[in-house]
Every structure is written in structure tokens, then in C-alpha cells.
Structure 1
Amino acid sequence: MNDKSTVYIFIDDEPKPIARVQSPLNFELDTRKLVDGEHELKIVSKDPSGKEGIRRIPFTVKNGPAIAVEGIKEHDIVDGVIPIMINAYGKGDQTHFLISGSETPQSIPSWVWIIIIGFVGWALYYLARYLYST
């Protein structure tokens, strides 16, 4: 008699398991075969006495190119003409990293401009005081 549990591995709501193995096991899930988005890994275990257990693990696949958008955010309230910058780049794979296009240029935040203007104004003030005091 077999004293090991049988494990069935399902992806999403597929009726046919992607694997049927004896436990314990090591399993590699190739997400490159799945479309980007929400998925669920369902593991059903049946022990030698016939009792079943189930475990559901939701996960998100994001194999496609990353998309960065600047100029508008989710649920923004907008008006007029809006300049939008979009950058999409692939990550490569585990052996090759794509450096070209992987950095998204971004505008300088307004708080940085305020600090720069404040510092330049302070420096000019003290420079003017120094020049006129001598």
C-alpha cells in the first residue's frame, strides 16, 4: 500500500491538473506560459485513506514589459491639455538584463525646485551683503 499523499496542482479554474505527483515534491511553475494578470494556484492533496485537503494561493503574473506613466495617476481629476510621458521596457530574463530603456526619465519634483531657488536666493543675498560691505 502506498503511504504517500497524491498532490494535484491546478492553475486558475482549469479542470485538468498541470501536475499529479506524490508528496513531498519540488515544483517549478513557469509563469511565462501564463498571461499577465491575476491567477490562482490550487493544490489538492489526497492522502492514502482518501481524505482530501485543498490550498488556494492567489498570485499576480507580470512577465510583460513594465509600463511607467508620468503626468497622470489613477483616479486623477484633470482639466485641459495634459503632457503625459509613457515608457515601456522589458526586463529580459534571468540570464540577461536589458539595460537599454529600463530607466524611466522623470521630471524634477517641485519641492526640489523650491530648495534650489531658496538656496540660490540665500547665496545671492549673502554675496550681495559681502560685496557691499567691503
Structure 2
Amino acid sequence: MQEDKSKIALFVDDDLQPIAELVAPVQFELDTTKLTDGEHTLKMVSKSPSGREGIRKIKFIVRNGPAISIEGISDNSIVDGVVPLMINAYDKGNKNNFIIEGSETPQSVPSWLWIILIAFFGWAIYYLVTYSSI
């Protein structure tokens, strides 16, 4: 009965050996924990019962390792002198436990918020001085 169904071989990146050979239709769980973090390509090669082949490639990015966040520099920044950096790396833990400690990156207060606060307090002081004499 399986001779009348298409067969699918799954390859990751440029591997010559497939990670799985399946008969369609099928549900498959790709274990990304065995892959390094970064860009990868999943290549599916199907072969129909009549001998015809089809290929489909899907690019994806694996990010299983600890997340790294950085404040103080970004991609393609032009810098000069000493650049203070705040770097944090934290793991997601597993699906059963949520790690709170270290999972949030402290960030400095944005400059636009300082401007709004100074403007508000300046207006409040002006208002109090102006209308307190009445």
C-alpha cells in the first residue's frame, strides 16, 4: 500500500545523509537542540510513486543558546573613544520552569523620558510660582 504514496527525505544544511526518510503525509518534529545556533536550511526531497522528484528548501534561524543583549552599541555604529557597554546573557530555562533571575536586562532610562520629566517639573514650578502669589 505504501508504493502508491510519496516518500520524503529531510536534510539539514548540506548534509548528504537525511535526518529522516518518511512516507507522506506525516507529522515530524524537528529537534533544533541538536543544531548549532545560527542560520540553517531544511531541504525536503520528495519522490512520487511515478519516480518524479520535487525539492523544497526553507531557511530558518536556530536560537537555543542563551540570549545575549547589549546596550551602548548597535549594528553599524560609528564610535569614538571609550564606549560604555551593558551586556547580559540569560537562558530561557526549560519549558517546565521559568527562570526569573537574570532573565531581564536592566536598561538605562531613555533620554526622551528625561526631557519630558524636566519639562513637566519646569512647568509645575512655573505654575506654582506664578499662581502662589494670588
TM-score bin (small chain):
over 0.9
Task: Name 2:88's counterpart in structure 1.
Answer: 87
- Equivalent residues in 2 for 1:1-134, closer than 5 Å: 2-131=3-132, 133-134=133-134
How far apart in 1 are the matches of 2:95 and 2:11?
A: 25
Distance 2:96 2:19 in 1: 26
Displacement over 4 Å in runs of 4+? none
How many residues end up aligned between the 2 structures? 133
In structure 2, what is the Cα distance between the partners aligned to 1:68 and 1:88? 6
Identity across the alignment (%) = 62
Whole-angstrom CA distance in 2 between matches of 1:97 and 1:58: 29
Q: Kindly provide the amino acid, as one letter, of the partner of residue 40 in structure 1.
A: T
Moved more, 91-100 or 17-26: 91-100
Secondary structure of the residue that 1:95 maps to in structure 2? coil
The CA deviation at 1:130 is 2.2
Shift of residue 37, structure 1, vs aligned partner = 0.4
> Which amino acid counterpart does residue 74 of structure 1 have in structure 2?
D
- Once residues 94 and 43 of structure 1 are traced to their aligned partners in structure 2, the CA distance between those partners, rounded to angstroms, is 29
Q: CA deviation at 1:103?
A: 0.6
- 1:7-58 per-residue CA deviation (whole Å, 9 max, x = no partner) reads 1011110000011111100000000000000000000000111100010000
1:95 Cα deviation from its structure 2 partner: 2.1
Secondary structure at 2:4 match in 1: coil
Stretches of structure 2 that go unaligned for 5 or more consecutive residues are none
Find the aligned partners of 1:94 and 1:54 in 2 and give their Cα distance. 34
TM-score, L = length of structure 2: 0.96
C-alpha separation in 2, matches of 1:98 and 1:44 = 40
Q: Where do 5+ consecutive residues of structure 1 fail to align?
A: none
For residues 85-106 of structure 1, give each alpha carbon's deviation from its aligned partner in whole angstroms, at most 9, with x where no partner exists: 0000001122222211111110
